[in-house]
Amino acid sequence: MMKIYGYCRVSTTKQSIDRQIRNILAAYPMAVIVKEVFTGTKFQGRRQLERILESIQPGDCIVFDSVSRMSRNADEGYSLYEKLYADGVSLCFLKEPHINTETYKKAITTGIPKIGTNVDYILEGVNNYLMALAKEQIRIAFEQSEKEVADLRQRTREGIETARLAGKQIGAIPGRKLITKKSVEAKRIIQRYNSDFGGPLNNRETMKLAGISKNTYYKYKAELAEEMCTLGEREC
């Protein structure tokens, strides 16, 4: 029986993988979702993808939300695509369906039939051209994915350099607390509801209400105590 894998990848734990999962399950409800957090352009080192490649069988299918989730290295991505295709594995790319292996297969196997005359030489050339075009489209898709990574890195470097030349602070200032909307809201909840600040909830209940981790919770709690001490609202 054919097995369908839905491979989802993000570069860091701060990124959400939910969109990829949602897109794949919408198109392939029976897909077995495989999640991976991995940064880099090469597929070597991606443990979850390597596990799929070790167990995949001819007739099975791997679904990606986009070609960039498979590889952002053009040469490696194209080589892996060709290998899996040769092994009888189907590949589906939700955002680039024109390079799905089924589309590729039709392009290289469905040529213009020959008619038994000298025109066949021309038809053979046309068929070879169509096969080459199909392969080129696949390579272009991987090259575009690789280019997007290079462009993003270049824009980031240029942005940092522009900010530096303008005298702006790059990165967090040592000793200064990072203030975000989430931290402000979490601290508000802690100060209002935690029993140490006169509220009705214990630490575990307050942590759950604020929706933050244990380490973050105690960090915010210590910062609150320090702030209130500085303002004279609490004994130090």
Determine, yes or no, domain membership for 163: no
Q: Are residues 131 and 211 in the same domain?
A: no
Mean pLDDT of the chain: 81
Distance between CA atoms of residues 76 and 67, nearest Å: 12
Distance between CA atoms of residues 174 and 172, nearest Å: 6
Determine, yes or no, domain membership for 162: no
Q: By residue range, what is the domain housing residue 199?
A: 181-230
Q: Which of 12-21, 196-205, 206-215, 223-232 has the lowest mean pLDDT?
A: 223-232
The answer to whether residue 44 scores a pLDDT higher than 60 is no
Specify whether the CB–CB gap between 148 and 73 falls below 8 A: no
Distance between CA atoms of residues 227 and 39, nearest Å: 38
Determine, yes or no, domain membership for 219: yes
pLDDT in tens, 162-186: 877 777 765 555 555 667 788 888 8
**What pLDDT shows up at residue 65?**
93
Q: Which CATH number do you get for residue 10?
A: 3.40.50.1390
**What pLDDT shows up at residue 14?**
72
Determine, yes or no, domain membership for 153: no
Q: Are residues 133 and 26 in the same domain?
A: yes
The answer to whether residue 59 scores a pLDDT higher than 60 is yes
**What pLDDT shows up at residue 41?**
47
Written in H, E and C, the secondary structure of the chain is CCCEEEEEEECCCCCCCHHHHHHHHHHCCCCEEEEEECCCCCCCCCHHHHHHHHHCCCCCEEEECCHHHHCCCHHHHHHHHHHHHHCCCEEEECCCHHHCHHHHHHHHHCCCCCCCCCHHHHHHHHHHHHHHHHHHHHHHHHHHHHHHHHHHHHHHHHHHHHHHHCCCCCCCCCCCCCCCHHHHHHHHHHHHHEHHHCCCECHHHHHHHHCCCHHHHHHHHHHHHHHHHHCCCCCC
Q: Which of 8-17, 28-37, 82-91, 144-153 has the lowest mean pLDDT?
A: 144-153
Q: Are residues 133 and 198 in the same domain?
A: no
Specify whether the CB–CB gap between 12 and 69 falls below 8 A: no
pLDDT in tens, 65-107: 998 888 878 888 888 888 998 899 999 999 988 889 888 887 7
Specify whether the CB–CB gap between 187 and 223 falls below 8 A: yes
Closest CA to 96 of 140, 33, 148: 140
Distance between CA atoms of residues 24 and 94, nearest Å: 8
Determine, yes or no, domain membership for 144: no
In the block, which residue shows the tokens 């069988």?
57
Q: Are residues 100 and 8 in the same domain?
A: yes
Determine, yes or no, domain membership for 95: yes
Structural domain count, the chain? 2
Residue 219, beta-bridge partner list: none
Does the pTM surpass 0.85? The reply is no
Determine, yes or no, domain membership for 148: no
Q: Are residues 29 and 88 in the same domain?
A: yes
Q: Are residues 130 and 18 in the same domain?
A: yes
Distance between CA atoms of residues 61 and 70, nearest Å: 13
Q: Are residues 135 and 188 in the same domain?
A: no
